[in-house]
Structure 1
Amino acid sequence: MGGALDPAVATGRNLVRAALADLGPGSRLVIGVSGGADSLALAAVTGFVADRASYEVTAVIVDHQLQPGSAAVAAVAAEQIHELGMEAEIIAVDVGRHGGPEAAARRARHEALRRSMPDAVLLGHTLDDQAETVLLGLGRGSGPRSIAGMSPADGITRRPLLALRRVDTERICRAHGLSWWNDPHNADPAYRRSRIRTELMPVLEDVLGGGVAEALARTADQVRADGAWLDELAAAVEAPLDVPTLLALPPAVRSRTLRRTALQAGADGSALTSTHLAEIDRLVTSWHGQRRIELPGGLACVRLGDSLSYVRTPVAG
């Protein structure tokens, strides 16, 4: 890179530096790389920061083996990572079907990225991805948790580029001489997120006069902050299965308390919906003798007297 530093590159570096501020020298980083502009841009700016902060960094390219030529795409991505002066590892995964193709691919990818037990996993989600996630949540009617979108930090997962637009990551790639792959799935109308990206967002931007993606991302930040505080209140409830205690809680705290107890009991968090929680809530607030609510994950919530409990659901023979 010669001449003046591209502002998008400078911003990207600063975002990565801030996202990793809690990590010391020698910390091991994994960057999830697909070959697209977002992940390649993340690798480019992270490599710069890692070199100066003495982090150990590896780019992991996950080959989902779902499209013809995926191995070649992974190989090209690895070559560009090597040109940036970083290690690259290609991991081929077998994607299952549980929860739908997108959810299954996401689970397989996350398992591959965590295989080496790094201190942080960096993902290249952008502000555009965040806006699309919020709209998907609104469409499902899944409540504030889905409208809150993706968190910048979730355990070891870091998403440093959530404040950047997709066009900014393309600028970063061009500044580093990187060529990115355009996933055909991103324009495939069979995928709801693709239609949001190519059809709905342009209409919203036109009708509402621009700035829609930024507004949706700001909404996600605000809802996430409120939700985090309510989750803290729910975690502090001392008798979370006691019906009188639950009745005394504000509905927003009670819902989060019930969700927390269900997850602790073993409910499948990826399939646990607001509908399930509403039915459990009825065991507390509108009990007419109903005794069990079936939950995803082979679990049921049961009311006996003034107490809730969770029991395993027998498997049909």
Structure 2
Amino acid sequence: MLNDSDGTQTEARAAARYEVIRQVLQQAIVSQAVPDGLVLLEGPLAQLFGTSRVPVRRALGLLHEQGLIARFEGRGFIVAADGQDVEPQRIALTRSVLGLDQERELVDTRSAGEQVLESLQQALSTCMVFGHYQLNDGLAAEFYNISRSSIRESLMRLRDKGLVEKEPYAQWLSGPLTAREIADHYEIRASLEPFALRKAAPLIPQRQLLDNLQRLSLLKGQQITAATLEQVEDDLHFACLQPAGNRPMLEMLRQSQSPLIVTRIFYEVLALPLEQTVIDEHRLVYEMLLKGSWDLAAMSLREHLERAQARTLQKLKVLSVLPVPQLPPYLHRLS
């Protein structure tokens, strides 16, 4: 639960943490990623998850109630059913032992406001692809259990990103994201990004370019997540442009990212890997930059954006025939 009161926020974050810890451990046990008899101790688990012992203790208690772990003569719990005769396995509790991703943050330690902002952004960026929606800030406040003023503050930030709009004394509206709007955004990007890249090129660290290429090499044939897609796009279209130093231009480009919403939802809905052509186009820009061929890098970036526009419009057509995903109750479809 999220609340404006500091005390309640602390309690809510603790509640969220114990539930996340419970779910992670439950998945590891049910999937048999961990051996029978593994000893689970509060201290090592708290260190692994980056929390205090309180949420870990609560999570272990719930898992015990579920019958997934049992008490034994030693400290802590073991992975076993009550009465099951298994030998305690005292192994260091690491991500590998629990079968966990080595990179993913296990527990969300962001503030309540940051979590609500991300949730609103996700909901709005999804709905605008599927139609024209009205957002009721009162219902949103009830949904997230925070004040209406906090919701409005988040919406004002999202308005700057082009995800929602509002006239004085009017409703908050989002979408629809049309083919014409996508073309307009790409026109802005194709005009400004190559110029910015040419200006920034001599100042981009070689290590940064090599790291970007390394990340690309790991994507071949892999299903892409929203976070990975955002990283890939940011590497080329923002991090490489930052040295240009023109803040108003970079801000304008930040506000022209609506087409990326289509791409993100397309991959999320259809669970497809990133097209090899996209990887190759990004790689070509980096290789030109590493060679010092800055004019060719800028030209390659422009060609990439022109091709990306065609791909995005095709993805929009595919999404238009798919069912609308489940959306929060504070969003009402107008058309």
User: What's the TM-score, normalizing by structure 1?
Assistant: 0.26
Q: Which has the higher helix share?
A: 2
TM-score for both structures, normalised by structure 2: 0.25
- Ranked by relative contact order (alpha carbons within 8 Å, sequence separation 6 or more), the top structure is 2
Instruction: Specify the structure having the higher radius of gyration (Cα).
Output: 2
Which structure has greater strand proportion?
Answer: 1
